[in-house]
């Protein structure tokens, strides 16, 4: 691919969901504003799945070889976005699950004993940490990526 270093603009963006079939596009946001052929704007989606993003715009090509007589040509670019849930929240059903550690609190349920829980595919939550302990109790009430269960 060749970078059109003299392209400045905000192309039209379409982002159909490819997988899962029949899933939701959710809230998808990408403000692709280009300067000198480059864009550093972020992309945000609250759904999981495969999205095909297509950018298109009219490009002024006067002075370039093979430029049409009107001096403009439509340019397009495509890329795929593979999106997954931010994390999985393990939530209680009717029974409170033991949440102790090796040093204190109720021990985990022994192997072979029945228990009930719900696993939810959670969208990104502001204030999460990569390395510090995370209080995940609020994640059970967080919004989920419905496509993950589709």
pLDDT of residue 90: 84
Highest mean pLDDT among 24-28, 89-93, 99-103, 113-117: 24-28
Asked if residue 128 lies in contact with residue 134, where contact means CB atoms within 8 angstroms, the answer is yes
| Sequence-separated (6 or more) residues with CB below 8 Å from residue 22 | 150
The pLDDT of 132-138, averaged and rounded, is 70
* pTM (two decimals): 0.74
Grade residue 86 by pLDDT with cuts at 50, 70 and 90.
confident
Q: Is 8 helix (H, G, I), strand (E, B) or coil?
A: coil
């Amino acid at each position: 691919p060749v970078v059109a270093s003299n392209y400045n603009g905000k192309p039209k963006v379409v982002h159909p969901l490819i997988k899962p079939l029949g899933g939701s596009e959710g809230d998808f946001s990408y403000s692709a504003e280009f300067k000198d052929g480059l864009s550093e704007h972020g992309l945000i989606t609250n759904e999981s799945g495969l999205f095909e993003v297509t950018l298109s715009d009219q490009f002024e090509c006067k002075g370039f070889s093979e430029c049409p007589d009107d001096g403009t040509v439509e340019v397009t670019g495509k890329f795929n976005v593979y999106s997954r849930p931010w994390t999985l929240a393990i939530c209680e059903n009717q029974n409170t699950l033991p949440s102790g550690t090796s040093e204190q609190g109720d021990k985990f349920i022994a192997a072979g004993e029945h228990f009930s829980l719900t696993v939810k595919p959670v969208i990104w939550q502001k204030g999460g940490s990569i390395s510090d302990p995370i209080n995940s109790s609020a994640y059970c009430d967080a919004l989920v990526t419905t496509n993950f269960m589709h």
